[in-house]
Amino acid sequence: MSGTDVLVACQDAALTFGRGPTAVVAVHGANLSITPGDRLAIVGPSGSGKSSLLHLLAGLECPTSGTVTWPHLDGPGDIGLVFQADSLVPSLDVAENTALPLVLAGHPETQTRHPVTEALGLVGAAALAERLPEEISGGQAQRVAVARVLAQQPCLILADEPTGRLDHATGARVLDALLTAADRTGAALVVTTHDPAVAPRRPPRRGRRARRRAAPRAPTS
């Protein structure tokens, strides 16, 4: 895949919930395209349409007008989405939750151990591997949700407020983990946030051109 291959493109994409006088326009006329290595922060206050735009990019919602296309993605496994809400399976421990996308994709357990251990280590959750979701905090669950996507090594990482429930230092570590993982694999990274400190964040190590690129703002509503 070359650097100019478009992973996902929106053309005048809009998403309206409901009809008539109570209709809510969540996304209005979004135009953007994302290529490998891109780093994009979607910044806006609560209710401005960040999650809605991310769900359009993930294919979880269909645009009510305009188009969203994925010209160079082979399937759902190429997209890793960190949900804003809790998304861990209660009956699986942290390591099993992190391995889940790989298991569902048909990888044998022996092939999931290394990426799971590495991903949990990146977000500082290695010590939680054997705990159930009910035995960890909301912030820890958010880090595990990030690790689950990193273990999958998708071409396109979509993270919905991945630092929303974290203190500053832990949030910085999770952002570093997302940036480092995306940098290693050449994945594109899209993060939504209401925190103005998130958008300028750069990877912990310096050197590559993609790291010096300014994070553009995307239309959110």
How near is the Cβ of 25 to ligand ADP at its closest, in Å? Answer: 8
Of 65 and 111, CB closest to ligand ADP: 65
**Does 82 contact ligand ADP by CB under 6 A?**
no
* Residue 31 binds which of ligand ADP, Mg ion, none (CB < 5-8 A, kind-dependent): none
Binding footprint of Mg ion, residue count (CB under 5 A): 3
Which of 75, 71, 88, 70 is closest to 147 using CA atoms? Answer: 88
Of 138 and 186, CB closest to Mg ion: 138
- Cα distance between the two ends of the chain: 31
10 Å CB burial of residue 67 (0-12, 13-18, 19+) is: exposed
* Residues in region 52-91 near Mg ion by CB under 5 A: 84
Kindly indicate which of the ranges 49-57, 123-131, 178-186, 195-203 contains the residues binding ligand ADP, using the contact rule CB under 6 A. 49-57
DSSP state at residue 137: -
Select the residue interacting with Mg ion from 51, 98, 112, 221 (CB under 5 A). 51
Select the residue interacting with ligand ADP from 17, 113, 138, 186 (CB under 6 A). 17
Element (H, E) at 58: helix 50-58
Of 44 and 77, CB closest to Mg ion: 44
Q: Are 14 and 63 in contact (CB under 8 A)?
A: yes
Which of 159, 150, 163 is closest to 100 using CA atoms? Answer: 150
**Does 26 contact ligand ADP by CB under 6 A?**
yes
Element (H, E) at 119: helix 109-122
**Does 104 contact ligand ADP by CB under 6 A?**
no
**Does 138 contact ligand ADP by CB under 6 A?**
no
Euclidean distance between CA atoms 93 and 151, whole angstroms: 15
Which of 125, 108, 107, 106 is closest to 117 using CA atoms? Answer: 125
Select the residue interacting with ligand ADP from 1, 5, 12, 24 (CB under 6 A). 24
- Residue ranges in contact with ligand ADP by CB under 6 A: 17, 24, 26, 44, 46-52
- Residue ranges in contact with Mg ion by CB under 5 A: 50-51, 84
